[in-house]
Structure 1
Amino acid sequence: MLTSTRRVPQVLLFLITLLVGVVGIADPAAAEPGEDGGQNLTVRQALDKANAEYNDAKGRLDKSVADEAAITEQLTVTQARVGELEATAGTLANAAYRGKRISLANVLLASDDPDTVIHGMTTVQYMLSRDDKQLHELAETRKQLEQQKTDLAAAVANQQAQLKIMETNKKAAEDALKKAGGGGATTGAPSGGKVTTNPVGRNSDGSYAKQGCSENDPTTSGCISPRMLNAYNEARKAGYTHYTSCYRSGGGGDHPAGKACDFSANAKTFVDARATGADQQYGDALAAWCIANAKNLGVKYVIWYKRIWQPSSGWKSYGGDGTPAGDHYNHVHLSMQ
């Protein structure tokens, strides 16, 4: 009887464990966003590539537009200076043609007085040096003008090339979304976020520098990229402090690369239900903040409440998997360049 009595707790423990496994009682992982698989993984990979290339092209375009403005301003100044120097050169040439330009021979023949001759020679040397300097400046300024015209043409050509890249990647992102059942027009999307950040560093051509998973992830034991860490910290500074999870191993997409974070609408955890009330308002405000600061931070896309925001086309519908996590009803997904 003692042996049988001792086995009862073990049997009850087994039955309880079995029951929990069957009905899924108190399973917090059910609400945890998982790394997309199958078709959605393919969509995410296509979005990652298309939006990254779009952002880099947009950065190069913006840099080229700024370069064009600066060159145009310089070119105006240079053209004015060329005009002034050409007028001076014309006066010098006209004087030489009419024989009115002082020469060393004229000075030597004009006087027998040595002091007068020396003074005249000094004057001639000064004037010849001055004239030669002006003519040299004219030649150099003309070269500068031609180089500026060349640089201006290159800037315009670069802009046209970047616009083509942007258009190509915009279409690629739209096609990927459509294949997954999204990409349609949507209404009621979050807007009106406030810019609270400063621009992150870029390459000299305006594109974003490549980054790896090199920083400790404050939300897990994994790693994230410097730009992702900066975005996470800036979101915290802006008041978005609800439960967040960034790095996840395995699969594809940006989480294993340390370039994505999931910001729960709920303050303490991922809830396996559609966010409503204050939680939904929090998610709306956070998504709007991400978009307002997208250029400064280097955002590739934002997913929230079965919608996706991309820099190329704004808010579109998102094809999820029918669950609160898969449809992004319970968290804001932020993917970084």
Structure 2
Amino acid sequence: MRRRTLTSLVAALMLLGFWATPVSAAPGDPTGAPNEGTDLTLGEKLDAANTEWLQAQAVLDTSKKRQADLAQQMDSMRKELEPVRASVNVIAAAAYRTGGDVRLSAALVNTGSPEQFMDRILLVNTIARYNGKQIGRLTQLEKELAEAKKAVDDEVAKQQAQTAIQAKKKADAEAALAKMRGKADGYVNVNSPLANPAPRNADGSWPAENCIIDDPTTTGCITPRTLHAAQEARKAGFTHFYSCFRPSGPYEHPKGRACDFAAASDGFGGVASGADKTYGTNLAAYFVKNASALGVLYVIWFRQVWTPAAGWHAYSGGNGDPSSDHTNHVHLSLI
């Protein structure tokens, strides 16, 4: 009796949606979430290594752009500074030759009439204002140029720090992939369309995001960046079935930061071939080409895995079936 009551309670809770589960993976259901294996260690290591690599790359890219902007500003300031400096040098030389204020005072005393005196007063004031303005402008330009030079030095130091971080995280990613079979040719398509970039912080880094958006493919949740990537892929013509959130399992699915994109149009099936394999290859290449714009952590497709830190590697983390070998779907994980 108690077992029947407990069973009824569980059934009622599932009917009411108490547990947020993805589409059922019932036998023969091609839309059920693929069983990608249980290699949590690989997923966690790639997550950690590539997240920090991506953040360093984002800051580095922004720093390089700022350095280029500062260099352009410095060039403009130097072009403006040279004639101003030449003008101030002329003023200084003239003041030295004429004896400065003494000669001007004599010129004012030796006037023949009040009108001449007033004219010379106006002339002297005009010259003084011009001279003062030029000297002030020179001082300001030199100050701004010095500040710009310091800012460039700061950006160079920042870039050196980010490059060191990237080197360390590349090594970490390589170590995480050590059990794979080494480098692979990978999937590249120079004709892949460009995606609209996902929002970033002011310094170029990726903002932390929570699983707060309703997943359009399940009853779970995804991050805004995950939704953006999925929408961009569909805009680019990749409209086959896909599934994102899962309450458990490897990779970033439980965090709302991963999606599986079926190679076949109607769901996950056997090993992709023909047009379905071409579709999956083009989709994997699309995510790699737009990795920086979308915040891609890694892509897995057809026994190969790509990370921004280490590139394409042969993938042998599966169990020999189409789902865990990723030969029937493209896996996408995002920062």
Mark yes or no: TM-score above 0.5: yes
C-alpha deviation, 1:48, in angstroms: 0.9
**Aligned-CA RMSD value:** 2.1
* Kept in 1: contact 2:268–2:329 (CA 8 A): yes
* Kept in 1: contact 2:301–2:330 (CA 8 A): yes
Rg (Cα) greater in structure? 1
Secondary structure of 2:143's aligned partner: helix
* Kept in 1: contact 2:183–2:313 (CA 8 A): yes
C-alpha deviation, 1:252, in angstroms: 5.5
**What residue is the counterpart of 2:64 in the other structure?**
65
**How far apart in 2 are the matches of 1:97 and 1:291?**
68
* Kept in 1: contact 2:196–2:293 (CA 8 A): yes
- Which of 218, 231, 253 is 1:255 aligned to? 253
**What residue is the counterpart of 1:91 in the other structure?**
90
Aligned residue type for 1:202: R
Q: Does 1:309 align with 2:310?
A: no
C-alpha deviation, 1:109, in angstroms: 1.1
* Kept in 1: contact 2:37–2:318 (CA 8 A): no
Q: Does 1:82 align with 2:75?
A: no
Instruction: Evaluate the alpha carbon distance shift between residue 36 and residue 129 of structure 1 in structure 2; reply closer, same or farther with a 3 A threshold.
Output: farther
Aligned residue type for 1:124: V
**What residue is the counterpart of 1:191 in the other structure?**
189
**How far apart in 1 are the matches of 2:214 and 2:27?**
30
TM-score, normalization by structure 2:
0.86
Percent identity between the two aligned chains: 38
CA-to-aligned-CA distance 1:149-207 (integer Å, 9 cap, x gap): 101111111111111111111111110111xx216122363533512322222111111
**How far apart in 1 are the matches of 2:139 and 2:33?**
70
* Kept in 2: contact 1:57–1:162 (CA 8 A): yes
Structure 2: gaps of 5 or more residues: 1-25
CA-to-aligned-CA distance 1:43-66 (integer Å, 9 cap, x gap): 101111211111111111111111
**What residue is the counterpart of 2:236 in the other structure?**
238
**What residue is the counterpart of 2:45 in the other structure?**
46
1:110-259 → structure 2 map (5 Å cutoff): 110-178=110-178, 181-182=179-180, 184-187=182-185, 189-251=187-249, 253-259=251-257
C-alpha deviation, 1:274, in angstroms: 1.9
**How far apart in 2 are the matches of 1:190 and 1:295?**
15
Aligned residue type for 2:266: K
**What residue is the counterpart of 2:34 in the other structure?**
33
Secondary structure of 1:98's aligned partner: helix
C-alpha deviation, 1:118, in angstroms: 1.0
**How far apart in 2 are the matches of 1:93 and 1:289?**
64
Instruction: Evaluate the alpha carbon distance shift between residue 184 and residue 262 of structure 1 in structure 2; reply closer, same or farther with a 3 A threshold.
Output: same
C-alpha deviation, 1:251, in angstroms: 4.5
